[in-house]
Copies of this chain bind each other. A is one copy, B any other.
Amino acid sequence: MTSSAGVVDALGALAVPVALLIGIEPKTAWLLSVLWVLKVVPGIPGLRQLRRVLVLESGPLVSVLVIFLMVVFLASVAEYFLERDVQPQTFGSVPAALWWAVVTLTTTGYGDVVPVTPLGRMVAAMVMISGLGVFGLWTGILATGFAAETRRDNFLKTWESVSKVPFFAALGPAAIADVTHMLRTMELPARTMIIRKGAQGDCMYFIAAGEVEVDLPGKKVQLGEGAFFGEMALLGNNKRGANVSTTKVSRLLVLDLVDFRVLMARHPDLAETIDAEAKRRTLENK
């Protein structure tokens, strides 16, 4: 990673001077500074995830690409054959017909090269419909890969944190794997409002790292690592009862209402712990 960053740096820094040195005119040489844009690449969020999808699904993606190229090739030869006499200007060579085929199969359709003979238009119609098919296959492959990757990624991020929350420590490893699939990790900067009083509540939070402050009437309560909050809204009245915000950079685990209910049903002991804590808090704040 570090070495490839160095190559990009060198490429960005040296491209312009080198171009100037070897005698390319300045107006063109300066364009090469566009290579600095490549510096952005490692910072793109989720890029690693996208790359993994592309690698894992490379087999079917390449096979769609090959089909794409074959359609382009056969269609352009057919159109060259059908249109060259009528439009020697635009369909006069196979490369020109190839250009038409790519523009058509991707459904871009500039309109600079258009078949006019009835047979040529029939071939074109088939190319366009194939274009929809290629789109569909491509998307289907990427959607499938992406769904799997998202689940995997979330699991990896969440697993670490779950095992650190004492609340879940009582669960066996199989149950922890189960719980991990239900939770979502959320990274928050300091002084961020998490819950707004009076809002509709549909999830509860566990603190994996950091600290939050609950703004109760007359006092402020700090909750640290391993604590949970927001459970009241899931246990009957679904309006949030107090503002909650982070005091430092925090990592929270979010449990949706849906999964809260499934979890409580499967692990009645967790349900009791949450219930007991909720009652204790209600009494305390009366």
Task: Please give the residue numbers on chain A whose beta carbons come within 8 Å of chain B beta carbons, in ascending order.
Answer: 28, 31, 34, 37, 40-41, 44-47, 49-50, 53, 56, 59-60, 62-68, 70, 73-74, 77, 80-81, 95, 99, 102-104, 106-112, 114, 118, 121, 124-125, 128-129, 131-147, 150-152, 155-156, 159, 172-174, 176-177, 180, 184, 202, 256-258, 261-262, 264-266, 268
| A60 CA to B266 CA, complexed, in Å | 32
Cβ–Cβ < 8 Å partners of A180 in chain B = 261
- The answer to whether residues A70 and B108 also contact, given A139-B136, A156-B202, A177-B261 and a CB cut-off of 8 A, is no
| A139 CA to B146 CA, complexed, in Å | 10
Residue of B nearest to A202 (CB): B156
Across the interface, A110 reaches (CB within 8 A) one of B49, B102, B110, B268, namely: B110
Q: Tell me the smallest distance from the CB of A271 to a CB of chain B, in Å.
A: 8
What are 24 of the A-B contact pairs (CB < 8 Å)? A40-B70, A45-B60, A46-B63, A49-B60, A50-B60, A99-B121, A103-B109, A106-B129, A106-B132, A107-B108, A108-B131, A110-B114, A135-B136, A136-B142, A139-B143, A140-B144, A140-B147, A141-B146, A152-B256, A156-B257, A174-B265, A177-B265, A177-B266, A180-B261
Contact: A95 with B118, CB < 8 Å?
Answer: yes
| A118 CA to B102 CA, complexed, in Å | 13
Across the interface, A80 reaches (CB within 8 A) one of B31, B108, B140, namely: B31
Q: Tell me the smallest distance from the CB of A139 to a CB of chain B, in Å.
A: 4
Cβ–Cβ < 8 Å partners of A262 in chain B = 177
| A217 CA to B148 CA, complexed, in Å | 37
Q: Tell me the smallest distance from the CB of A130 to a CB of chain B, in Å.
A: 10
Contact: A50 with B80, CB < 8 Å?
Answer: no
| A99 CA to B125 CA, complexed, in Å | 8
Across the interface, A111 reaches (CB within 8 A) one of B28, B37, B111, B256, namely: B111
Cβ–Cβ < 8 Å partners of A34 in chain B = 73-74, 77
Cβ–Cβ < 8 Å partners of A62 in chain B = 45-46
Cβ–Cβ < 8 Å partners of A261 in chain B = 155, 159, 173, 177, 180
